[in-house]
Every structure is written in C-alpha cells, then in structure tokens.
Amino acid sequence: MTNKVALIGAGVMGSAIGTRLLETGNQLSVYDLDRDRIAALVAKGANAAPTAAAAAQASDFVILSLNSPKIVRSAVFGTEGVAAGARAGTLIIDMSSIDPESTKILAGDAAERALGWLDCPLSGGAPKAIAGELTVMAGGNSDDFERSKTVMEHLCANFTLMGPSGAGQTTKLINQVLCALNFVAVAEATQLALDAGVDAVRIPGAIAGGRADSAILQEYMAKMALKDYTPSGSISNMVKDLNGVQDLARLTGTPMPLTAVCAEIHRLLVSAGHGSADNAALMKYFEGPGA
C-alpha cells in the first residue's frame, strides 16, 4: 500500500525520515522554510509543497520533525499551517521532541478540528531513520496508533504505545536522561583511555557484550577518540531535552543530581560555541580550556 505522507521539517532528522519513506515507496510532500532542504528531498522523488497547508492537503498522514512547541504550533495552527489544509481525519504524527504538557494541549486543539494526533518522539538518530530501525515511543489513542503503523513500520524497529497524549514525550525525556549520562560517561572514559595510552578505538570491541556495553559506546567511543564530530545530533538539542527533563522533575518533585551535572556540562559547551556540534564533541569539555 502506498501512503500519502506530508513531511513538515526537513532538517537532519526530517531529511533522514523523508529519505527512508521515499526509499520504501511512499508518496511524500515536503515543506520546510529552507528551500535547499526541500530541494534535496525533491531530488530523491518528493514533491515540493509551497506551504504546510498544501503539503497536508495532498496527504493522509502528516509527520512533523521540528524543534520546539512554538514551532510545532505555528506549523500546524498558524497561517497556512497543516490544519488549514488537512482533511478531517488526517493523522498528525509528531516526531518532534517537545514537552509533554505542550503535547497534550496541541493534541486537544487538533481534536477540536477533527484531526488525529500521535506524539512519536524517536531515538536512534538519522542513521537509524535511514535504515528503518528507529525506536519510537508513542502517546495517543490506540486507534490512531494502529492506523499509524502503515507509515511507521517503514521507520521503526521498535514502536510502542506508552499511554495517552504526552506519554510518548515523557518516555523520550526518560530516554534522554539515559542517553545524556551515557554520552558524558563515554566521553570521560575515552579521555582517560587517551591519557593512559590505551587505544580507545579498540575498547568498544574489547568490552562488547559485557555489562558496560551500550549502543552509544559502540557508536561514539571511536568517534570521540578520533575527534570525528560529523553531525548526527547536536549538543544544543540535548540541552533542550535536558531542560525538559528538569522541568518535568520539578513538576514531579523528583531529585536528579546526576542529570543536573550532565546538563551543566552540556550548557558549558553551548556557551563555548559548540551548540551545533555533534554529541561526540563532549570531548571538548574533557580536553580542557582552549579545546
């Protein structure tokens, strides 16, 4: 079955999602404020839409890949936004990472316009999106979840409904706590290996399958050791997620001392001008001043 999908947001993740959908035979209409990003997907077979409304009008599913609740709201409910063009019953699949409370409000506003809403934040980054191996945590009703599978099966290796609207975003924040702490731990361990004269590139293979093993260790220690900061994520995006984690922790009264230290390390790197750098650039913190 060929799905008609609108993609709103064609940054690093959106582009990877769009590429995968095209490669698996879906019809894709794409809209982004950056025309070069649209052109890159058009070259792969997508249709360029002049507005988010136009993209939605031609589609049964709308995927959002955006950076903040404010941008999501503007893209969906603003002038020439998704809601202005989408037919009743269109399902919005929000793959952005935003806070749970904003998600609940957005989903309610969509329901008032007879639009479905599923919050579907992801884990795995652009490489997993292109391979169709994302981990996605969903929030919404079970009917929308089941309906979304015709699209999401092309993108996901693990797709789980966690509860009502906002539950997917809450689970993503928990995921980001684990990821952020792991990134910092791997960077710190990599620097120790380098300082001690051990070949850090060989460590992931040497301890594979042991208790210290992880996907982040396997993907990132060699990158960190080789100072390969080719972007597949960014420090600033992690700060955004950690801010969301700390907001939720204040709301729930949950003490999170390790997360607080981890967040400050990320913020220091942003203040030093490394916000757009890959997560591997956490090495710059451990390299010391002037790195």
In the chain, CATH 1.10.1040.10 covers: 170-287
Q: Give DSSP secondary structure letters for 16-50.
A: HHHHHHHHTT-EEEEE-S-HHHHHHHHTTTPEE-S
Per-residue pLDDT at 187: 98
Residues of the chain where predicted confidence (pLDDT) is lower than 70: 1, 289-291
- Selecting among 172, 223, 240, 284, the annotated active-site residue is 172
pTM: 0.89
Four-way CATH pick for 4-164: 3.40.50.720, 1.20.810.10, 3.40.47.10, 3.40.50.970: 3.40.50.720
Q: What is the pLDDT of residue 117?
A: 98
Assigned architecture for domain 170-287: Orthogonal Bundle (1.10)
Q: Which residues pair with 41 in a beta bridge?
A: none
Look at the alpha carbons of 158, 159, 163, 168 in this order and tell me if their dihedral is positive or negative.
positive
Question: Is 149 a residue of the active site?
Answer: no
- Cβ neighbours of residue 122 under 8 Å, at least 6 residues apart? 13, 95, 97, 129, 134, 135, 136, 155, 172
For residue 289, the model assigns a pLDDT of 58
